[in-house]
Structure 1
Amino acid sequence: MGQDNCKPEPGDLIEIFRPLCQHWALYLGDGYVIHITDEGTSSTWLFTSSVHATRAKVRKQLLERVVGNDKWRVNNKYDRSRTPFPVEEIIRRAELCIGEEVPYNLIASNCEHFVTELRYGVGVSGQVQNAAAGSAAAAVGSIILGVAAVVGMALSESASRR
């Protein structure tokens, strides 16, 4: 069972903890989830091939098969800021996608975007937002350090002229 031992309900978002990132699925009921995976690649290794993927296949599979040996949990974290569709609508929207090939982009259209689009009508990815925030903070930090180094060198040069 999941990390938090919570029994999923139809329409719940399932966060699966992979070695390099999280994989996301949407619980349909009766042990099944819908998720996207690189064609011909198990969902366990989606991240390694997803850097280059531009298309993904929508699959309905047993949760236990998708999870494998990884930890997972129900994580409807966006319910605090977004209103989910009624469960029947979420499931209807999900089932229409099964077997379809959809655009895939690690930054703009990944597995988390896919399932949040089904649940809320808008694709959101906290992983991407967090990575972008971290990159932005690193970039700002680098700029500040760069400016400080230039100012420090200028002050040092000025002091050595005295």
Structure 2
Amino acid sequence: MLHTPGVPSPCEPKVGDLIEIFRPVYQHWAMYVGNGYVIHLAPRSEVAGAGSSSVMSVMNNLALVKKERLSDVVGNDAYKVNNLWDYKYKPRHINLILKEAHSLVGQTLPYSIVSSNCEHFVTDLRYGKPTSRQVGHGHIVVSFLGEECHERR
């Protein structure tokens, strides 16, 4: 079920849940870590809530691990809890997930739309397996601004 900002949600995220955020052209992913916060992999120039990157940050192939309020990351976009691989992979223990996620906050990591994007980041935290549904199906697009992103399915 999609959640629209400003509308009460019947399904609030639980610690360790994957959050799929529907940007106008692509999906951004974050991990819910409690108390209204998420941890996510964002291109270094991303402005909270904007969900986009500059040409330079994508060309540098770098991203920053951030801990921010879910409401700030979502902005005006819809989102949903989407633990998309629970049917196939067993989620790791929540304490391990949180320890690893928090240890990465503030670090600059390699970024690749094919192998190290925001979806890979959160699925690796939850399942121990970096996976991207869209990359796996070849749904990659490059926008007119030079941003690398996922096509919405």
> Which TM-score band (shorter chain)?
0.7 to 0.9
2:25 corresponds in structure 1 to 20
Is 2:46 the partner of 1:46?
Answer: no
Q: Aligned partners of 1:132, 1:24: CA distance in 2, in Å?
A: 16
Please give the alpha-carbon distance, in whole angstroms, between the structure 2 residues aligned to 1:51 and 1:93: 25
Contact 1:24 1:111 survives alignment (8 Å): yes
Shift of 1:41: 2.0
Which segment is superposed worse, 6-15 or 32-41? Answer: 32-41
Over 3 Å off, 4+ runs: 47-51
Aligned residue type for 1:2: H
Aligned to 1:107: 114
Aligned to 2:144: none
Post-superposition Cα deviations, 1:20-48, rounded to whole Å, max 9, x if no partner, equal: 11000000000000001111222524266
The alpha-carbon deviation at position 69 of structure 1 amounts to 0.3
Once the 2 structures are TM-superposed, how far is the Cα of residue 51 of structure 1 from its aligned partner? 4.8
Q: Within 1, Cα distance between the matches of 2:133 and 2:10?
A: 23
Match of 1:7 in 2: 12
The share of aligned pairs that are identical, in percent, is: 44
Give per-residue Cα distances to partners, 1:116-157, cap 9 Å, x unaligned: 111111100001112269xxxxxxxxxxxxxxxxxxxxxxxx
- More strand per residue: 1 or 2? 2
Map of 1:16-95 to 2, 5 A cutoff?
16-42=21-47, 44-46=50-52, 49=55, 51-95=58-102
Any gaps of 5 or more consecutive residues in structure 2? Answer: 141-153
TM-score, normalised to structure 1, is 0.75
SS at match of 1:131: coil
Greater C-alpha radius of gyration: 1
RMSD value, Cα: 2.0
Give, in whole Å, the separation in 2 of the partners of 1:127 and 1:97.
24
**Which ranges in structure 1 are unaligned for 5 or more consecutive residues?**
134-162
CA contact 1:38–1:56 (8 Å) conserved in 2? yes
